[in-house]
Structure 1
Amino acid sequence: FNETRMDYPREKTIHALFEEQVEKTPDQIAVVCEGEKWTYRELNERANQVARVLRKQGVGPEQVVGLLVRPSLEMIVGVLAVLKAGGAYLPIDASYPSERIQFMLEDSGARWLLVSSSLAIPAGYQGTILLPEEIGKQEETGNLEHINQPQDLAYVIYTSGSTGKPKGVMVEHRSVVNLSFWHNQFYEVTPADRSTKLAGFGFDASVWEIFPYLLAGATLYIIPEHMRSDVLQLHSFYEENGITISFLPTQLAEQFMEWENRSLRVLLIGGDRAQKVRDTGYRIVNNYGPSENTVVTTSGVITPEDAVISIGKPIANNQIYILNHDHQLQPIGVPGELCISG
């Protein structure tokens, strides 16, 4: 099960691949939020404008830019703009306590902060504040010169940490590209697909919800905040908008499965141990992985007939090993510690 080698564009960055997709499907709808729609061309051009402002401010490789935004079109623009400018983005969920936000900004060394105009500016922040809805509208819309390498930092995401103190996890472009290309190949994602952005912006699942689809020409629907935990509203939203593939946290997914859905072909779950699976008309895929390994390490289809719900097999270019206390391989079927490489 560790024979996972798969070719992917190792020499390219996330935003370079996005720009290639824009050339292929410029008029395809890229992102939808609360009825507002942007095509791939429109999203790319707006991100380029914001990126030019950031680069003029001094943003470059290995430099962190905070993003404190609500679920919106500006969230996606901000993510792409930071990458295009050459920097790494720090996603900050607007629901976080002010103390956590302050810690993340200080600990990451973020000298710039893109913050939605509807949100309060974090107390005590000494860096440059920028409003993504307002800046750069007079800037050129063409693509910027590429200044990044695949091994450059793409984002920093904060986990709870084993001690309870938030811990920043740094992830490179090439890791996200590997995840995206595995995902799009494994799930056969095409421009005909419609996916969702539901997970909290500060959780690594949001990375998985955004990039694979934007690199495949699919359409990304941002779920309104008031709907994110309402199963019946989600069902209606999915069917009305023809959502074909989506991630839901495990506990929410288990409730979602109780109701028939006629639009989905794949439901991705993860975050907690799955307790039950119902017979549905779509594939249910269980996923596991730490933030340090770029969201997903193992993945596998699960069914009601499974005696034990598995976390699946390693994804492309990842390996897993079950070791004993002496760090020696355990025989198949013998419990041990799960170790990851790739």
Structure 2
Amino acid sequence: MDKIALSKEALSIHQRINRTDAGYPAESLKELFEGVAGRRPDAVAVVHRERRLTYRELNGLANSLSVRLRAAGVNPGHVVGLSVKRSPEMIVAMLAIIKCGATYLPFDRTWPDERLHGIFGQAGCAALLTDASDEMTARFGRMRVVPVDLSALHEDEKNPSLRVQPDSIAYIVFTSGSTGSPKGVPIRHQGVVRLVSHACFVALDENSVIPQLASIFFDAAVFEIWGALLNGGTCVLYPSDHVRLSELKRVVQQNGVTAVFVTTALFNVIVDEAPGTLDSVQTILTGGEAHSLRHIERARKHYGDDKVVSVYGPTECSVFATYYPVRGSVEGEPALPIGLPIQNTTLYVVRDGALCAPGEAGEVCLAGPGLSPGYLGMHELTAEKYVEYDIDGEKVRLYHTGDRGYVREDGNVVFQGRLDDQVKVNGFRIELGEIAHFMNEVPHVKQSYVTTSEKESGEKVVVAFVVPADEACTPQACHDHLVKKVPSYMLPGEIHVCDSLPLTGSGKVDRRALLSRRNDQAAAESQ
């Protein structure tokens, strides 16, 4: 175990920001949800369009489906693939898996078969729970496919007697991997419980009404669903696949939404086009990418101080790790801080084996019960990213985020970009190296370079540049290859064919020159 070097100044600032112990229940999602259902049986748990389920109804249906899952051979510790469209059925299915002591693995059935087979294999997936059982059976015939059909279920009031331990795995999320192989990130029950219990970044209680906007294979959905259901509040399932501001405003007003999470890109669109959409909401959480100060300042002037809260956190740390309530003007600031660690989470900025003093840049590292145990089947990467240290005589397991930042004198942490080429686009974490890996597989591509560019709205777009090996290299040919390899959110928004990749003096691809050339070409074409 390595010992972290530290100065009095560095230790003092980290001790101050890391006084985050708030306590949280030593129970699993199963026990906590069943406790809420017992205390508030007639309260509305889930809303979807005109449908409403009380806690009694939701719990009873989940109990009934869990019986079917166990009959299909699902036991504690098993992994169950989950693909159900946003609906009450989705929540019932998720709860049923948890009630079996199993782990849910959300996936998108539009992903390529090759990718899904790889994910199921890495996770040791035992069964699939879906509302498209015929399609799933045809595609994955060797796996047990269990249909979700609420009309075939009865409301079973008896909760399974099984007790799930807080350190059991609740769910697995797969993130982009630089070698072309997605990384499986398992998250413990206690990681979710610590996120939504005694929350300092948003009010969560029985009066909470939270819309569920994110795809369930994006970990923001964990906050949206369990933040409501573990606190006796209401989870409002957004009625459409894609967010429209007029519809979002209607959902917010009709249901009395109290808190909402929106990605940075969606936040910018709301601020630009219809800030009144969220006027009645108490707290607007936003994150996923670095924020545009222009949009943050416009939002602050419209909503007032403290209503907008920027949140930050890698998947590996159970959704959110830090928060920053926007209070006072951000004009003239170098960047919007990612803020302070949330409850039961600690943060350290480390460089060259030493704790950084205020103002000194280093790598942002996180600790606490929200940490994943590590990557599925990737022992070397786990050992590299999750490291035990001695910090002032205390043994601390740190997750190295790969994010660069520094602590200000007031304790707030400022993000300064990635140490590698991992980015977030529309809230999804993407490693550009994975896209380049598959781009280089295209038979007609000699070289490729993948980066991001920013639109005027502040939204990031993935841009790929390719050097052709022959005349068959076209943007469409590259797209057609990638669509079979990666999910749609990883597809480049632009693919440009160029004669060569310009290099800097150090021999690296000159990103600025490429983007400048692309901008010049776009300007010429618009004339």
| TM-superposed deviation, 1:135 | 8.3
Q: What pairs up with 1:131-142 in 2 under 5 angstroms?
A: 131-133=147-149, 137=153, 140-142=156-158
| TM-superposed deviation, 1:64 | 0.3
The residue that corresponds to 1:113 in the other structure is: 128
1:284 to 308, 328, 346: 308
**How far apart are the structure 1 equivalents of 2:38 and 2:140?**
42
SS of 2:303's partner is coil
**How far apart are the structure 1 equivalents of 2:171 and 2:151?**
22
Assess, with a 3 A threshold, how the Cα gap between structure 1 residues 125 and 159 changes in structure 2: closer, same or farther. farther
The residue that corresponds to 2:161 in the other structure is: 145
| TM-superposed deviation, 1:55 | 2.0
Assess, with a 3 A threshold, how the Cα gap between structure 1 residues 193 and 138 changes in structure 2: closer, same or farther. closer
The residue that corresponds to 2:358 in the other structure is: 332
**How far apart are the structure 2 equivalents of 1:257 and 1:321?**
33
The amino acid of 1:280's aligned partner reads H
2:190 to 170, 174, 189: 174
The residue that corresponds to 1:158 in the other structure is: 174
Contact in 2 for aligned 1:55/1:86 (Cα 8 Å): no
**How far apart are the structure 1 equivalents of 2:211 and 2:29?**
19
The residue that corresponds to 1:225 in the other structure is: 240
Contact in 2 for aligned 1:28/1:39 (Cα 8 Å): yes
Q: Which runs of 4+ in 1 moved over 3 A?
A: 138-141
CA deviations on 1:43-84 (whole Å, 9 max, x unpaired) are 000000011111233322221011111111111011110000
**How far apart are the structure 2 equivalents of 1:182 and 1:188?**
8
**Which ranges in structure 2 are unaligned for 5 or more consecutive residues?**
1-16, 369-527
The residue that corresponds to 1:311 in the other structure is: 338
Assess, with a 3 A threshold, how the Cα gap between structure 1 residues 182 and 138 changes in structure 2: closer, same or farther. closer
Assess, with a 3 A threshold, how the Cα gap between structure 1 residues 241 and 134 changes in structure 2: closer, same or farther. closer
SS of 1:47's partner is helix
The residue that corresponds to 1:204 in the other structure is: 219
The residue that corresponds to 1:265 in the other structure is: 282
Query: Aligned residues: percent identity?
Result: 34
| TM-superposed deviation, 1:303 | 4.3
Contact in 1 for aligned 2:46/2:236 (Cα 8 Å): yes
**How far apart are the structure 2 equivalents of 1:62 and 1:310?**
39
**How far apart are the structure 2 equivalents of 1:323 and 1:262?**
40
**How far apart are the structure 2 equivalents of 1:95 and 1:243?**
31
The residue that corresponds to 1:295 in the other structure is: 319
**How far apart are the structure 1 equivalents of 2:60 and 2:181?**
39
CA deviations on 1:195-221 (whole Å, 9 max, x unpaired) are 111111111111111112101111111
**How far apart are the structure 2 equivalents of 1:229 and 1:273?**
21
SS of 1:4's partner is coil
The amino acid of 1:288's aligned partner reads Y
Contact in 1 for aligned 2:61/2:156 (Cα 8 Å): no
**How far apart are the structure 2 equivalents of 1:244 and 1:6?**
23
Contact in 2 for aligned 1:53/1:135 (Cα 8 Å): no
Contact in 2 for aligned 1:285/1:302 (Cα 8 Å): yes
Q: Which moved more, 1:80-89 or 1:139-148?
A: 139-148
**How far apart are the structure 2 equivalents of 1:14 and 1:170?**
15
Contact in 1 for aligned 2:347/2:364 (Cα 8 Å): yes
| TM-superposed deviation, 1:186 | 4.4
The residue that corresponds to 1:243 in the other structure is: 257
| TM-superposed deviation, 1:187 | 2.2
Contact in 1 for aligned 2:44/2:52 (Cα 8 Å): yes
**Which ranges in structure 1 are unaligned for 5 or more consecutive residues?**
none
**How far apart are the structure 1 equivalents of 2:198 and 2:81?**
28
CA deviations on 1:78-133 (whole Å, 9 max, x unpaired) are 11100001101001134433333232222211111011137721623412111111
SS of 1:120's partner is helix
**How far apart are the structure 2 equivalents of 1:21 and 1:7?**
18
Contact in 1 for aligned 2:66/2:96 (Cα 8 Å): yes
**How far apart are the structure 2 equivalents of 1:200 and 1:90?**
13
Contact in 1 for aligned 2:60/2:155 (Cα 8 Å): no
Contact in 1 for aligned 2:81/2:104 (Cα 8 Å): yes
SS of 1:154's partner is strand
**How far apart are the structure 2 equivalents of 1:329 and 1:289?**
20
The amino acid of 2:361's aligned partner reads P
**How far apart are the structure 1 equivalents of 2:84 and 2:141?**
16
The amino acid of 1:284's aligned partner reads V
Contact in 2 for aligned 1:60/1:85 (Cα 8 Å): yes
| TM-superposed deviation, 1:244 | 1.4
SS of 1:111's partner is strand
Give the aligned length.
Answer: 338
**How far apart are the structure 2 equivalents of 1:269 and 1:186?**
11
Contact in 1 for aligned 2:61/2:150 (Cα 8 Å): no
SS of 1:225's partner is coil
Q: Which moved more, 1:75-84 or 1:95-104?
A: 95-104
**How far apart are the structure 2 equivalents of 1:174 and 1:190?**
18
The amino acid of 2:217's aligned partner reads G
**How far apart are the structure 2 equivalents of 1:331 and 1:163?**
35
Taking structure 1 as the reference length, what is the TM-score of the superposition?
A: 0.93
CA deviations on 1:270-324 (whole Å, 9 max, x unpaired) are 1111112112336111111111110111112124612231111111221111111
Assess, with a 3 A threshold, how the Cα gap between structure 1 residues 249 and 94 changes in structure 2: closer, same or farther. farther
Contact in 1 for aligned 2:89/2:150 (Cα 8 Å): no
Taking structure 2 as the reference length, what is the TM-score of the superposition?
A: 0.61
